[in-house]
Amino acid sequence: MDVLLISIVLAVVAGIIFTGIGLISGSDETAVLVPATLIVVLLGAPPEAVFAFFMSAVLSKHLTHAIPTALMGVPGDTTATPMLDHANFMRRIGLPHIALRKMISGGIIGAFIALPVSLAFAVFLSQFGEFFQKNAGIIFTLAAVLIGYFSKGRWASIILIIPFALVVQGLNLVSTTILGSGLSTSFFLGIAIGPMFTDILLASSKSGRLMIQRHEPNEYKLAPEKKSWSGYFPNPFKVLTKKQSAAVGGTSFLSSLTFALSPVGMTALMGEVIGSRVKGQYKKSTTSLSTMNGVTESTYIAETIIPLVAFGIPLSPVAIGPAQGLFNAPPVFTTEPVHNLHTLMEPMDFLLYGFIGIIIAAVLAYPFSMNFARKATVLVLKYINQEAIIAMFIGIVTLLAFYEGGLISVAVTFSMAMVGGLLNRFLGVGVGVQFMIFYGSSWIVATLFGL
């Protein structure tokens, strides 16, 4: 099949699947995007099609994650957390549907600004790519220290860099002894599902179960849907005011030039900066929500494209998390040596196939979210079991791990999930810190212990 046709087909598949996944509150981006991207890569899809798939998946999920956030007051995923205060205010005054429309419209605008801006910046930074590739080990280690310092765990994250690196290299030594070669996919799959797997462990423990046990179901009150436009596909610039559109455009442009900062942090920062300049709680909340969701899209796109095009190694929170499979999916994509989308695609390919992904996601997810948000939410609440979704992704992870190295690979995956998940849950050692330590672990151990 033609590469263009395959890319369109996979972008449509991603748009449909992740439009649905975004409706499910708490569906972590890393835990769902990494396995899905790896499946596409390992099935032999062309690099361009893999990129179109990922871009469609990201935008689709981040458009529909606004639905549980706005209508139920439950974050659709991690990046939606900073939006809760403003979303809850809109729910209290009976206007969650207005909040939803502002959020989704801001997201669409942010995505289309971010792609060309971040790509142009990445091309500029690519002249420094060789330096970053040669010094990847120390860069990852320094990044682990920096991200750890600004994480919830702070000093625990920094103190545990060396012990965690030893755990990684110890498991890698065991797998190399048994298989004759090291593992890679299994490690970052384990890190990705760590928080999710920890909740499963807690639920299976008599003492741990008390931490997550609920004694009564949550209750949600959903406002009726009222359309303020004609036709099926609303114009996002008419949903937002001129000032809101300008705020979304400006913050999306600025956040498209960053790649080392947390998407959650950027979302909160830009939302508060813009909100502080608006008088009146209603205008402040609607403007902040549209801005925040626009920044969510722009940071995710920028933090994927800039490291991918400029360096070929994952040097951003998104690249070391949800976009992991675009950089490292052995034996197809690798970072040592760099053989991934960085070397297999040209900048114009990123622009073309990136636009294919986000256009298809916009066509599928945007009008769906604007027209059927309430009906879709009711359907999810009534008929879709969150535990079943978690079980599905655990099954996918097990399959991918077994594909890489059989039972030993599965054991390594869930060993990493256990260690990483517990550190994340109880000590605040974030997934981003763990990914950076994983990538820098061979340099750390070799430098400190000469191994």
Torsion, Cα of 230, 233, 239, 244 (10° steps):
-160
| Range 313-338 average pLDDT | 83
| pLDDT for res 337 | 82
For residue 132, give both structure tokens: 């970053």
pLDDT at 48 over 90: yes
Sequence-ordered alpha helix ranges (H) in 73-184: 84-92, 96-125, 129-134, 136-149, 155-159, 161-179
* DSSP state at residue 223: P
Read off the tokens for 213.
Answer: 């046990």
> CA-to-CA distance for 165 and 179, rounded, in angstroms?
21
pLDDT digits (tens, 9 = 90+) for 396-413: 788 878 877 889 999 999
- Give me the chain's average pLDDT, please: 84
Tokens of 113: 């600004």
- Residues in the chain, total: 451
**pLDDT value for 230:** 65
What 3-state class would DSSP assign to 338? Answer: strand
Token readout for 63 is 């458009």
How many angstroms from the chain centroid is the CA of residue 75? 14
Lowest mean pLDDT among 144-153, 194-203, 437-446: 144-153
Task: Tell if the pTM clears 0.85, that is, is over it.
Answer: no
pLDDT tens sequence across 3-43: 999 999 999 999 999 988 887 766 667 778 888 898 899 88
Which residue did the predictor score with more confidence, 386 or 239? Answer: 239
The answer to whether residue 138 scores a pLDDT higher than 80 is: yes
Note the pLDDT of residue 381: 66
At 362 the pLDDT is: 92
Q: Report how far residue 168's alpha carbon sits from residue 445's, in angstroms, rounded to the nearest whole number.
A: 10
Torsion sign across C-alpha atoms 22, 26, 28, 31: negative
Considering only residues 311 and 132, tell me which one the structure prediction assigns the higher pLDDT.
311
Each residue of 217-231: pLDDT tens digit? 666 666 566 666 666
pLDDT score for 320: 76
Residues with Cβ < 8 Å from 234, sequence gap 6 or more? 101, 105, 367, 370
How far apart CA 193 and CA 321 sit, in angstroms, is 11
pLDDT in tens, 339-394: 899 999 999 999 999 999 999 999 998 888 887 777 766 776 677 666 776 777 78
Angle at CA of residue 391, ends 390 and 392, nearest 5°: 90
Residue 50's pLDDT is 95
Confidence of residue 164 (pLDDT cuts 50, 70, 90): very high
Q: At what angle do helices 161-179 and 185-192 cross, to 10 degrees?
A: 140
pLDDT at 6: 93
Query: For residue 27, with 0-12 CB atoms within 10 Å meaning exposed, 13-18 middle and 19 or more buried, which class applies?
Result: buried
Mean pLDDT within 64-71 = 80
Determine the Cα angle at 373 with ends 372 and 379, to 5°.
90
Which range has the top average pLDDT, 123-132, 312-321, 335-344, 358-367? 358-367
pLDDT at 82: 78
pLDDT reported for residue 226: 64
Q: Check: CB of residue 175 under 8 Å from CB of residue 412.
A: yes
Nearest CA to 288 among 273, 266, 303, 304? 273
143-172: average pLDDT: 87
For 336-356, letters b (16+ CB in 10 Å) and e give eebbbbbebbeeebbbbbbbb
181 vs 226 pLDDT, higher one: 181
Phi and psi at 183, nearest 5°, equal -110, 155
